[in-house]
């Protein structure tokens, strides 16, 4: 196997490994002895879930989370520089998309090292596919501002970009999901469509697209369930 | 299996099925007798590649491409309305992202039908992961304008959005890839970084991130090879 930095996606929620990851990822995993991870305990759990016979004790982990300082990671790629394959594992979904892994990828790229992204579940892509919205032009904003005035301003910017044909995608802390939908209903034009995708790839997943007007008149409860939001005309 | 509209990704290029699709997708495929596809011949080839014993003759195909009129597709979901699982297959990558499948998904959503997106390769997500750029905020623009003045204007808009932290992603017709890189080098600030991801998931894949200044001074040839472009600071 090539000496490269392999970016290894992790299932969302409790979905089975073979539901969301290609076999190839498992073959790659088994060969790697050096992993850069957000959380060692959950990374071990993921590796065991992929292959219960995997030899965890022979594996070296490097922690990269929001508390890791940029200068601490300068040595993380030494095993790769010495010719070993390395893996990056995030907490859920695809590494380096909306998580700290991007810093280590940028460092590998700046040193001319090979980076290999593996296929896996992304709530952004899965929700976009299932929304029925424009996939030829879209923007992902991460979390929206919490401050009311700033949030309203952001919604108005999104309405402007929707008018030019761009699907708008964003997330919220799960315990504020219901509040997010209410905020949208109170702010944007009633004729826009809102898609809420919840628990993607899990047994109780749902992807519901309705007009904002329909959401206003509908009962819903997404409290504390992982969800992603999409707006379009 | 649930009566739902399953969105079934297809490998990019000639990559092996088990390199880019979870086993679950193949289990779903084998149960479906009604497919909405961009091209029947390549859809058959894909199904045979997934399972050479699949009974193609018992499968009904509906064509949805850029020539299909909106009014022609109104009956396409009848098998689903009658309680059968249906599948959507695109030419490459994820259905309904940058392909005509979004229309049929929108129709299913507007009728309150269940839509289930399956995991698979997306050049947008894979290139974003491997670029080292910001994955918390990004925009995908599809194809840029061909007209020089409009293209320059678009690059300047992208520079403005990069300044606010948003990664910019776009594609080009493969025989114009080299021209695209030259256009970028001639237009945007030399300190920005350009990532070119080519033949993703295939044996000769490459993902290279360099400053625009470095691209200007480098030899490259991406002519007629599928590529995707990302810009960031």
Most B CBs within 10 A among A117, A208, A215, hence the mutation to make, goes to A117
| Cα A152 to Cα B7: distance, rounded to the nearest angstrom | 34
Cβ contact, residue pair A132, B209, below 8 Å: no
Q: Which of residues 48-77 of A touch B (CB under 8 A)?
A: none
| Helix, strand or coil, per DSSP, at residue B185 | helix
Q: What is the pLDDT of residues B127-186, one digit of tens each?
A: 999 999 999 999 999 999 999 999 999 999 999 999 999 999 999 999 999 999 999 999
Domain that holds residue A81: 5-117
In a shared domain, residues B132 and B225 = yes
Q: What is the CATH number of the domain that holds B81?
A: 3.40.1010.10
In a shared domain, residues A99 and A201 = no
In a shared domain, residues A105 and A128 = no
Contact list in A for residue B129 (CB cut-off 8 A) is 7, 94-97, 105, 117
Contact list in B for residue A91 (CB cut-off 8 A) is none
In a shared domain, residues A46 and A147 = no
Q: How confident is the model at residue A218 (pLDDT cuts 50, 70, 90)?
A: very high
Q: How far is CA B114 from CA B80, B127, B201, in A?
A: 9, 30, 30
Q: How confident is the model at residue A113 (pLDDT cuts 50, 70, 90)?
A: very high
In a shared domain, residues B86 and B185 = no
Average pLDDT over residues B220-228: 96
Answer for the pair A212, A190: CB distance below 8 angstroms, yes or no: yes
| Cα B53 to Cα B48: distance, rounded to the nearest angstrom | 7
In a shared domain, residues B200 and B142 = yes
DSSP B57: G
pLDDT at residue A226, rounded to an integer: 95
Cβ contact, residue pair A19, B22, below 8 Å: yes
Helix (H) or strand (E) holding B143: strand B138-143
pLDDT at residue B92, rounded to an integer: 85
Question: And the tokens for B135?
Answer: 């994955």
Residue A214 to chain B, least CA–CA distance (Å): 11
Q: How confident is the model at residue A73 (pLDDT cuts 50, 70, 90)?
A: confident
Number of CB pairs < 8 Å for A and B?
170
Contact list in A for residue B233 (CB cut-off 8 A) is none
* Contact B1/A at CB under 8 A: no
In a shared domain, residues A113 and A165 = no
Average pLDDT over residues A131-157: 95
* Domains held by chain A: number: 2
Instruction: Report chain B's mean pLDDT, rounded to a whole number.
Output: 94
How many residues are recorded in chain A?
A: 233
Residue B194 to chain A, least CA–CA distance (Å): 11
- In chain A, what is the straight-line distance between the N-terminal and C-terminal CA atoms, in Å? 47
Q: How confident is the model at residue A56 (pLDDT cuts 50, 70, 90)?
A: confident
3-state secondary structure chain A: CCCCEEEECECCCCCCHHHHCEHHHHHHHHHCCEEEECCHHHHHHHHHHHCCCCCHHHCEEEECCCCCCHHHHHHCCHHHHCCCCEEEECCCECCCCCCCHHHHHHHHHHCCCCEEECCCCCHHHHHHHHHCCCCCCEEEEEECCCCHHHHHHHHHHHHHHHHCCCEEEEECCHHHHHHHHHHHHHHCCCCCEEEEEECCCCCCCEEEEEEHHHHHCCCCCCCCCCEEEEEEC
Q: What is the dihedral of CA B100, B101, B107, B112, to 10 degrees?
A: -160
Q: At A117, phi and psi to the nearest 5?
A: -85, 130
Cβ contact, residue pair B23, A23, below 8 Å: yes
| Range name among A193-197, B19-23, B26-30, B95-99 with the lowest pLDDT average | B95-99
CB-CB: which of B22, B99, B105 is closest to A132?
B105
Average pLDDT over residues A125-140: 96
Q: Which residues are within 8 A (CB) of A156 and not within 5 positions of it... i.e. 6 or more apart?
A: A187
In a shared domain, residues B11 and B97 = yes
Nearest in space to B138 (alpha carbons), one of A113, A202, A139, A170: A139
In a shared domain, residues A127 and A228 = yes
pLDDT at residue A1, rounded to an integer: 85
Nearest in space to A128 (alpha carbons), one of A228, A28, A57, A222: A228
Last residue of a domain, one of B65, B91, B117: B117
- Angle of helix A23-31 relative to helix A40-50, nearest 10 degrees, comes to 120
* Contact A186/B at CB under 8 A: no
Q: What is the pLDDT of residues B75-127, one digit of tens each?
A: 999 999 999 999 999 888 899 887 778 999 999 999 999 999 999 999 999 99
Last residue of a domain, one of B75, B94, B117: B117
Q: Is the pLDDT of residue A179 over 90?
A: yes
Sheet containing B206-211: order of strands: A206-211, A193-198, A227-232, A167-171, A138-143, B138-143, B167-171, B227-232, B193-198, B206-211
Q: Is the pLDDT of residue A98 over 80?
A: no
More confident residue, A145 or B70: A145
Cβ contact, residue pair B109, A201, below 8 Å: no
CB-CB: which of B20, B122, B129 is closest to A22?
B20
- Angle of helix B23-31 relative to helix B40-50, nearest 10 degrees, comes to 120
* Contact A4/B at CB under 8 A: no
* Contact A167/B at CB under 8 A: no
Residue B223 to chain A, least CA–CA distance (Å): 21
pLDDT at residue B155, rounded to an integer: 97
In a shared domain, residues B61 and B99 = yes
Nearest in space to B10 (alpha carbons), one of B90, B64, B85, B88: B90
Q: How confident is the model at residue B74 (pLDDT cuts 50, 70, 90)?
A: confident
Average pLDDT over residues A188-195: 97
Contact list in B for residue A102 (CB cut-off 8 A) is 132-135
CA angle A101, A103, A106 (to 5 degrees): 115
Cβ contact, residue pair A132, B110, below 8 Å: yes
In a shared domain, residues A218 and A151 = yes
Q: Which residues are within 8 A (CB) of B78 and not within 5 positions of it... i.e. 6 or more apart?
A: none
Last residue of a domain, one of A60, A86, A117: A117
Q: What is the CATH number of the domain that holds A189?
A: 3.30.950.10
| Cα B171 to Cα B98: distance, rounded to the nearest angstrom | 11
More confident residue, B73 or A122: A122
Question: And the tokens for B114?
Answer: 């269940």
In a shared domain, residues A12 and A37 = yes
Cβ contact, residue pair B125, A129, below 8 Å: no
pLDDT at residue B125, rounded to an integer: 96
pLDDT at residue A126, rounded to an integer: 97
Nearest in space to B209 (alpha carbons), one of A184, A45, A182, A112: A112
Contact list in A for residue B131 (CB cut-off 8 A) is 105, 109
């Amino acid at each position: 196997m090539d000496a490269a930095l392999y970016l290894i996606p992790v299932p969302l929620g409790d979905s089975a490994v073979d539901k969301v990851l290609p076999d190839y990822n498992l073959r790659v995993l088994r060969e790697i002895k050096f992993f850069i991870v957000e959380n060692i305990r959950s990374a071990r759990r993921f590796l065991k879930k992929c292959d219960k016979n995997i030899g965890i004790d022979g594996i070296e982990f490097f922690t990269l989370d929001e508390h890791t300082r940029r200068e601490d990671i300068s040595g993380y790629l030494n095993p790769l520089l010495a010719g070993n394959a390395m893996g990056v594992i995030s907490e859920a979904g695809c590494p380096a998309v909306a998580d700290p892994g991007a810093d280590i990828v940028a460092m590998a790229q700046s040193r001319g090292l090979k980076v290999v992204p593996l296929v896996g579940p992304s709530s952004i892509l899965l929700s976009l596919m299932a929304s029925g919205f424009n996939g030829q032009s879209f923007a992902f904003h991460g979390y929206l501002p919490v401050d009311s005035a700033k949030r309203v301003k952001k919604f108005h910017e999104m309405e402007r970009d929707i008018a030019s044909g761009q699907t708008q995608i964003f997330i919220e802390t799960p315990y504020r999901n219901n509040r997010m939908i209410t905020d949208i209903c109170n702010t944007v034009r009633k004729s826009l469509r809102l898609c809420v995708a919840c628990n993607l790839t899990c047994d109780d997943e749902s992807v519901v697209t309705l007009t904002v007007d329909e959401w206003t008149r509908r009962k819903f409860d997404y409290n504390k369930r992982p969800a992603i939001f999409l707006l379009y005309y």
